[in-house]
Structure 1
Amino acid sequence: MAGERQDDCLFCKIVAGEVPADVVRETDTTLAFRDINPQAPTHVLVVPKAHYRDAASLAAADARVTADVLREAGEVAAQDRVDGTGYRIVFNTGTGAGQTVWHAHAHVLGGRGFNWPPG
């Protein structure tokens, strides 16, 4: 069920402290941690602490937490000092887009140039 912890979810386990992560920020509703396979010098995942399958599910269920995730993404960029040079916030939604963990999460990427279109 949306919002409830899923026992088989890696990110729920990270939020619960059962799986270690390099946490860079935490709020009442979000957790931000470094990606274990970084694609840029700054590559941080910002997740809602509550479980939502993907970004669309999160947005449909809880506008406040959706805003919290985006706000924290900006704070991560500022903390890593990539806010002045530019950064990306990416939500992969669905297998075809590269989502591999079924818990909504924003990738904050920065510290190098990016091409357009992505992919």
Structure 2
Amino acid sequence: MTKTLFEKICDREIPADIVYEDELCVAFKDIHPQAPFHVQLVPRKPITMLANAEPGDQSLLGHLLLTAPKVAAAAGFGDAFRLAVNNGAAVGQSVFHLHIHILAGRPFKWPPG
């Protein structure tokens, strides 16, 4: 099976501007940022999208949500950031490896999109 772009980044086969990593995930700057601070938080385990996560992934998913504020805080955005998860091509997912967008540094509107 071919590795996704994000797997290759996690494995250091492709360079990226990594801002955080631990044994379960990697966060790196988005190459097409939509905000002054825009990183992708990616699990090392390849899960194509949130809808394909399994019960055994529950602790990993929780880890991602607990890690996102740490990544935002380290960049100076501890109390004002947005998380976005796209699930499927119809809503904008272009890399089929689960990832959480962490965005900050500008005002956001509601509803998004």
Q: Same fold (TM over 0.5)?
A: yes
- How far did 1:26 drift? 0.5
**Residue 95 (structure 1) aligns with:** 89
User: For the residues of structure 2 that align with 1:59 and 1:82, how far apart are their CA atoms?
Assistant: 31
1:43 aligns with 2:38: yes
User: For the residues of structure 2 that align with 1:62 and 1:111, how far apart are their CA atoms?
Assistant: 31
After TM superposition, the structure 1 = structure 2 runs for residues 8-19 of structure 1, keeping only pairs within 5 Å, are 8-19=3-14
Q: Runs of 5+ in structure 2 lacking a partner? A: none
Q: RMSD of aligned C-alpha atoms?
A: 1.2
Deviations 1:55-95 (A, max 9, x none): 222364401110111111111110111123x1111001111
**Residue 107 (structure 1) aligns with:** 101
Q: Percent identity among equivalent residues? A: 41
Q: Runs of 5+ in structure 1 lacking a partner? A: 1-5
Runs of 4 or more above 3 Å deviation:
none
Secondary structure of the structure 2 residue equivalent to 1:62:
helix
User: For the residues of structure 2 that align with 1:59 and 1:105, how far apart are their CA atoms?
Assistant: 15
User: For the residues of structure 1 that align with 2:55 and 2:95, how far apart are their CA atoms?
Assistant: 19
Deviations 1:4-53 (A, max 9, x none): xx524100111111000000000110000000000001101000001000
**Residue 2 (structure 2) aligns with:** 7
After TM superposition, the structure 1 = structure 2 runs for residues 1-80 of structure 1, keeping only pairs within 5 Å, are 6-58=1-53, 60-80=55-75
